[in-house]
Chain A
Amino acid sequence: MYWVSVFTEAGIFAILALGLDMVWGWGGDFDLAFYGYLALGSYMTFVLTIGKPTPPVKYIIGWHLPVVVAMLVAVVVVVALAAVIGSIALRNLREIYFAVTTLGAVSALYVLVENYTPLFDGYNGVYGLINPGQTTLRLTYNGYRIVLLGVVLFILFLAYLLVQRLSRSPYGRMLRAVREDERAAAAYGRKVFLAKYRSYLFGAALAGLAGGLFAIFISAFNPSAWTPQELLVIYAAILVGGRGNPRGVIVGVFVVYVGLIELTRFLPSPASRPDFSPALRQVLIGLMIILVLKFRPAGIFRERPGRDEPSRPTRPLARPFRARVVAAASGATVLPGGRLGSESAGLPARARHDGAPDEGAAP
């Protein structure tokens, strides 16, 4: 059962990481607010399902919604929060300024949640969402945990398919162009803010969904369960797996969570130093980041560049009619028989390699 729980947690974080990678990997923005989105998704799922608080416990809403509905509402609330933070942080702030702003926003929320008890009962947090639907499904406790793992992996798989599809789509290509050079992207008609904003909201929705699953998984949630440091482990996982590659991101999360964090539990821990093992974990994660950056900077799976396959001969003889029309419109002359004259550009047929280094002086 221990491993079921480990894999469930890794699966949930992989969903979060897929969303985060859209913002950081494709969009290039180092966001530090995402753990807050996961937390808000969790909190909302709790307060929408566990019913009225019994004093002295205090929290908002207190409904008895079915857990699936509650998770969907939670996602909407999370996206709304991301819409506010994103509209401020993404407009003109980049790099370290963006990171600090998002960190500041989520830290402010953190302090608010901790100290303003009517919201989510402050430090005590919310609890009581214990295996929702277990009795309806007539499952044992262990059976339920296994089914939960299955559900998490299934949702992860769906999220992966969706993100992978986006990654290879014109949208993914456009977002990466914005990452590579914003000014050039704008010069070619791209709305930089909107491109980033849409991926930010989509990523936040995945974070909120992960938060809802997390609520079911741990059945209690308080501020100590979410700190910005947790997000850095996710970033490490993305880096190891392959920034910008959805498959790599998932593999990275499983490598880091299952491989490192959990395997270090089996290390002997001296009785005099009970914090040895957790401390060693941090060291190992740091070491792993250094090694990956040194020997495989693109990660286990590198970002897939958009290739034009199969590599065809430069001048195929037969072309579909529409292609010919487009080619003609683009300024190339279409010779009889549908061939395109390479001389049409008026460029000398000379050499591929004189498109050459900068040193050549202008006349």
Chain B
Amino acid sequence: MTEALLEISELSKSFGGVRAVSGCTFAVPEGQVVGLIGPNGAGKSTVVDLVSGFGRPDSGTITFAGQTLVGKPPDVISRLGLIRTFQTPREWRNLTVMDNVMLARRNFGNEGLWRCMTRARTIRRQEESDRAAVREILDRFQLTELKNELAVRLSGGQKRLLEFARIAAAEPRLIILDEPMGGVNPVLGARIGEAVGQFARDGRTVIVVEHNLPFIEKTCDQVVVMDLGEVIAQGPFAGLRDNPRVVDAYLGMDLGHG
């Protein structure tokens, strides 16, 4: 096993009287695709929020590439090389597909107010190389013909592809996908699976929160199972079928066939 890129230890978070996450501990090795599964209300999305800075844990530690993430705001965490998605695609609706992916290139240096006033020509020249890269990415996700459309006009499936195009453009070290298969048809699902596989081949670490177990089985190297805010099992998917706690949490669902 390679070294852990993300380490979560004894993480807890309550909302009012509800303990959404309690004593959650697991590690994600660099370069692996890790599935995070569990019944509704198990605390998966809360963990994603806490890791990406959209919430502050009550206690526990989160370490990403040797740095603690607790207390850091989302933008700082993102700049460390972590990109997360949301359960529904959150494209920038009234910007074009091109601009959506250009923004994901995260060329922060050229976004200064003063610099944009005084160095417009230099910036335009530098943007051209980003544009070329973005065109390749759009091509990969079959969005080229839509590049000048406003993102709000895309279909649900195209928005999913745009989400993946943005991640590809951002070149993050760790990707957290929150239910990428929600409302997705089988053909598109296969393409999303391929895209996750490509991220892994590029050496990126991926965490997938998903209810679609066949998808998890196909794409993930190992799986973390949560229930009632804690991790009840971790390991390769095949081994989970025999774990009574996992079967119990999923109410006896046949894990073999989802």
Q: B-contacting residues of A (Cβ < 8 Å)?
A: 162, 165-166, 169-174, 176-177, 180-181, 183-192, 198-199, 202, 303, 305-309, 311-312, 314-315, 319-320, 322-323, 326-327, 329-332, 340, 342, 344-348, 350-352, 354-363
- Decide if A186 touches B74 in the complex (CB within 8 Å): yes
Question: B133 at the A/B interface (Cβ < 8 Å)?
Answer: yes
Q: List 12 A-B contacts (CB under 8 A).
A: A165-B120, A170-B127, A186-B73, A315-B139, A323-B132, A327-B132, A345-B198, A348-B190, A351-B142, A351-B187, A358-B184, A359-B185
Is A181 touching B160 in the complex (CB atoms < 8 A)? no
Residues in A whose Cβ lies below 8 Å from that of B41? none
| C-alpha spacing A315/B136, complex, angstroms | 8
Evaluate contact between B169 and A330: CB separation under 8 angstroms: yes
Closest B residue to A359 using CB positions: B185
User: Are A330 and B133 in contact, CB atoms less than 8 angstroms apart?
Assistant: yes
Please state if A305 and B157 are interface contacts (CB–CB under 8 Å): no
Flag if A184 contacts B75 (CB, 8 Å).
no
Q: Judge whether B207 is part of the interface by a CB distance below 8 angstroms.
A: no
Using known A-B contacts A171-B113, A171-B116, determine if residue A308 contacts B98 with beta carbons closer than 8 Å. Answer: yes
**What residues of chain B lie closer than 8 Å to A199, measured between beta carbons?**
113
Within 8 A of A (CB), among B88-143: 90-96, 98-100, 102-104, 106-108, 110-113, 115-117, 120, 123, 127, 129-137, 139-142
- Interface pair A322/B129, CB less than 8 Å apart: yes
Residues of A within 8 A of B161 (CB): 355
Given A326-B133, A347-B141, A352-B145; A362-B183 close (CB under 8 Å): yes
Report A273 CB to chain B, min CB distance, Å: 44
A191 nearest CB neighbor, chain B only: B75
| Partner pick for A360 among B95, B102, B123, B185, CB 8 A cutoff | B185
On B, residues with C-beta under 8 Å from A are 52-54, 73-75, 78-79, 83-86, 90-96, 98-100, 102-104, 106-108, 110-113, 115-117, 120, 123, 127, 129-137, 139-142, 144-145, 147-148, 150, 155-158, 160-161, 166, 168-171, 181-191, 194-195, 197-199, 201-202, 212, 214-215, 258
Most buried by B among A162, A340, A356, A361: A356
Known: A330-B168, A348-B194, A358-B156. A306 touches B132 (CB 8 A): no
CB distance from A120 to the nearest CB of B (A): 31
**Considering only CB atoms, which chain B residue lies closest to A173 in the complex?**
B99
CA distance A24 to B132 in the complex (A): 32
